[in-house]
Amino acid sequence: MNRYPRWKALLFAGVMLVSLFLGLPNLFGEAPALQISRKDGEPFAGAESVSQFTSALASAKVTADTAYLADGRVTLRFADVPTQLLARDAIQAAMPDNFVVATTFASKAPAWVRAVGLSPMSLGLDLRGGIYLVYEVDVEGAVRQKLSLLERDYRLKLRDSRVQYQSVEAQPSGVVVTLKEASKLADARTAMAAVDRTLVPVTGTDEQGLATLRVALSPEQVKERQDFAIQQNITALSNRVNALGVSEATVQRQGLSRIAVQLPGIQDATQVIRLLGKTATLEFRLVDMANRAEEAKATGHAPLGTKLYKERSGQPVLLKRDVIVTGDQLTDASAGFQNGEVQVSLTLDARGGEEMLRTTRENVGKQMAVVFIERERQLKEINGEKVAVDVTSENVINKATIRGVFSNQFQISGVTLREGQDLAKMLRAGALAAPVYIVEQRLIGPSLGQENINKGVRALLVGSAALFVFMAAYYSAFGLVADVVLVCNVILLVAVLTLCQAALTLPGIAGIVLTVGMAVDANILIYERIREELRLGNSAQAAIKAGFEKAFSAILDANVTTLIAGVVLFLFGTGPIKGFAVTLSLGILTTLFTAVIGTRTLISLIWGARSRIDRLPV
């Protein structure tokens, strides 16, 4: 008798049942779909959100296979791509300004699968199709921008401190201030330190013998500025990508100065490039509280010294023409709680801080507005020809009452937590911190993605079939047990990938195929150990027990060393290498579970209860 602990057998059975349940959505495949979200970022709620789009499609005589609400977005699934594109045009024509409509793919799983919260595994660009963009960030331009801001602030501060200077010049290595009088060195040093105390001026003389003060960014400060530019550009691009309404978009740093943007399922490359190519900025203005915005909108004429704007809700608002500060002077923004109230904390540079101090000192109790300005280049048909036209959009995103005097650091209140977080992101992403240029652009069609899936699955089936035949022929009935365990391994690996929502790529499928090939090694080690024990004259039950116990250390050592290699690939690799490393590493863990516990469970179930075994089919 060679019984395996019942709890381990039940554990294996339970894990496999759960794995089958989790992996079930992957059996249904995907179909072309539209994903619709609100432009203001708020989620949809209620069945009426879906019905308004199905009604618009019905008016255009377009039918969706299914329509449902998920994660605050409306998803409409169609039978084919032509119907999908017709539906997109119909919705954009019926409701052009309220929603973002993105072309994508959706699972064909039945409603009850979605109801229990199950979803298929995430697919990468090479399998699902979509758009891949790589932007090069001009990090040197970010440093030059920092030095230009210092030059401007030094001029302003020296002028306010009544220190006469010959010139203030931003150079590649720093900023040089040339004074007219050497006796003003101490005053100039004090004024410059007030702008940025982390920069220490160094005294010198120029070719004409005039006294100079030079400040230079340290290598650490240069790197910090470059990193800041990349992170702020990532934030800006992320916010713009979110406007596409795609739930699986990825914007991440690549290397030292590049940003990679992945949009699985998106098919309209023109819309994406146009959106990401926008430039944006901010303006802070005082609200005109003496005149009524509704009257100005009705008459079409704003009072002298004011300008008519509109909020995102469409409500008109009158603002003073004088700009207090712009987004170029914003250095940081974050949302949080203070005294139980949501507040957005803002930080301005020295010049912006001084302007804000003067304005707030004179306007306590009045309202200040934040204007978000977007500029993009659109192709418009003029006299029968398509011409590139720069289009500017200006909207008031926030109004707040000035409650006290402040300068470069202040808070905006009166918003909800979600509004505060969105506002902070928008303020940080108001303008790119450094120019970006497209250096790589790839559009992968859905047909090519499906072809990659078919080839990957075919490779997995052919490789598995060859292994199954070999194991059955070489190890007889024990080989058939190994075949069953290999199938369990693949099911468990797919379930783990689905649960983690790790994006499966074509190299990831290669990792699954390699996992199947490596997983059988554990069974071979166990079976060869059992054969050796039988040759030594041990009984069948003793041979089975010794085979598992003595082979375990070799199995563990081999898999741990491979797991180390997989982790290293994940940490230092990028793109496809990471996809391969993820499936390889997860496959090693599932292999250890199925090969040791699964194989032992099945063998004990078949042969463990027998008191006498004349011959083991191994």
CATH number of 296's domain? 3.30.1360
Higher pLDDT, 382 or 512: 512
356 located within any domain? yes
User: Residue 390: in which H helix or E strand, if any?
Assistant: strand 385-401
Mean pLDDT of 275-293: 76
- Return the HEC string of 580-615: HHHHHHHHHHHHHHHHHHHHHHHHHHHHHCCCCCCC
Are residues 599 and 530 part of one domain?
yes
Q: Is residue 618 part of a domain?
A: no
Q: Which residues, in sequence order, are bridge partners of residue 277?
A: none
pLDDT band, residue 98 (cuts 50/70/90) = low
Q: What six digits make up the tokens of 16? A: 């496999």
pLDDT at 166: 83
- Residue pair 305/321 in contact (Cβ under 8 Å)? The answer is yes
Tally of structural domains, the chain: 4
pLDDT in tens, 318-369: 998 878 887 667 777 777 777 777 777 878 878 788 888 888 888 888 898 8
Structural domain includes residue 343: yes
Does residue 471 register a pLDDT over 80?
yes
DSSP 15: H
* pLDDT score, position 542: 82
- Residue 82 sits in a domain whose CATH number is 3.30.70.260
Helix or strand holding residue 493 (H, E): helix 446-500
User: Do both 559 and 570 map to the same domain?
Assistant: yes
CA atoms within 13 A on the CB side of 495: 18
Contacts 24+ apart (CB under 8 A), 614-618: 615/540, 616/478, 616/530, 616/534, 616/540, 616/543, 616/544, 617/476, 617/477, 617/478, 618/475, 618/476, 618/477, 618/478, 618/527, 618/530, 618/531, 618/534
Question: Rounded to an integer, what distance in angstroms lies between the CA atom of residue 124 and that of residue 508?
Answer: 9
CB atoms within 10 A of CB 539: 14
Tell me what the mean pLDDT of segment 38-66 comes to: 80
pLDDT exceeds cutoff 80 at 36: yes
In a domain, 426, yes or no: no
* 123 domain residue, yes or no: no
Task: Please indicate, yes or no, whether residues 201 and 297 belong to a single structural domain of this protein.
Answer: no
Residues 260 and 301 in one domain: no
Closest CA to 36 of 249, 240, 278, 243: 243
Clarify whether residues 505 and 576 are in a common domain: yes
Whether 13 and 78 share a structural domain: no
Express each pLDDT in 159-181 by its tens digit: 888 888 888 888 877 888 888 88
φ, ψ of residue 36 to 5 degrees: the values are -115, 130
Q: Do both 249 and 181 map to the same domain?
A: yes
CA-based nearest residue to 38, from 101, 84, 90, 129: 101
Query: pLDDT (tens digit, 9 = 90+) per residue, 179-233?
Result: 888 888 888 888 888 888 888 888 888 878 888 888 888 888 888 888 888 887 8
Is the domain of 598 the same as that of 501?
yes
CATH number at residue 498: 1.20.1640.10
The pLDDT confidence band at residue 578, using thresholds 50, 70 and 90, is: confident
Residues 348 and 265 in one domain: no
Beta partners for residue 367, in sequence order: 401
Question: Do 457 and 589 belong to one domain?
Answer: yes
**Residue at a domain's end among 369, 396, 416:** 416
Q: Are 138 and 437 in contact (CB under 8 A)?
A: yes
Residue 193: which domain range?
Answer: 130-277
Q: Quick check: is 506 in a domain?
A: yes
What DSSP line would sit under 172-235, residue for residue?
Answer: TTEEEEEES-GGGHHHHHHHHHHH-TTSPPEEEE-TTS-EEEEEE--HHHHHHHHHHHHHHHHH
For the record, the structure tokens of 201 come out as: 């001026």
Buried-exposed string 422-452: b where 16+ CB fall within 10 A, e elsewhere? bbbbbbbbbbbbbbbeeeeeebbebeebbeb
Residue 615 falls inside a structural domain:
no
**What pLDDT, on the 0 to 100 scale, is given for residue 421?**
65
**Pair 180, 164: CB distance under 8 Å:** yes
75, 108, 141 - which closes a domain: 108
Write the secondary structure of 524-543 as one string of H (helix), E (strand) and C (coil).
HHHHHHHHHHHHCCCCHHHH
Does 361 share its domain with 451?
A: no
- Gap between the terminal Cα atoms of the chain: 18
- Residue 117 domain flag: no
CB 419 within 8 A of CB 412: no
* Average pLDDT along the chain: 80
Q: Are strands 130-137 and 73-77 parallel, antiparallel or unpaired?
A: unpaired
More confident residue, 212 or 448: 212
Same domain, 245 and 387: no
Question: Which value, to the nearest 10 degrees, does the dihedral of the CA atoms of residues 43, 45, 47, 49 take?
Answer: -50
d(CA 524, CA 618): 10
The pairing of strands 174-179 and 211-216 is antiparallel
Report how far residue 55's alpha carbon sits from residue 65's, in angstroms, rounded to the nearest whole number.
Answer: 14
273: nearest Cα among 91, 36, 437: 437
Among 401, 416, 431, the domain-final residue is 416
How far is Cα 119 from Cα 342, in angstroms, rounded to an integer?
35
| SS3 (DSSP) at 155 | helix
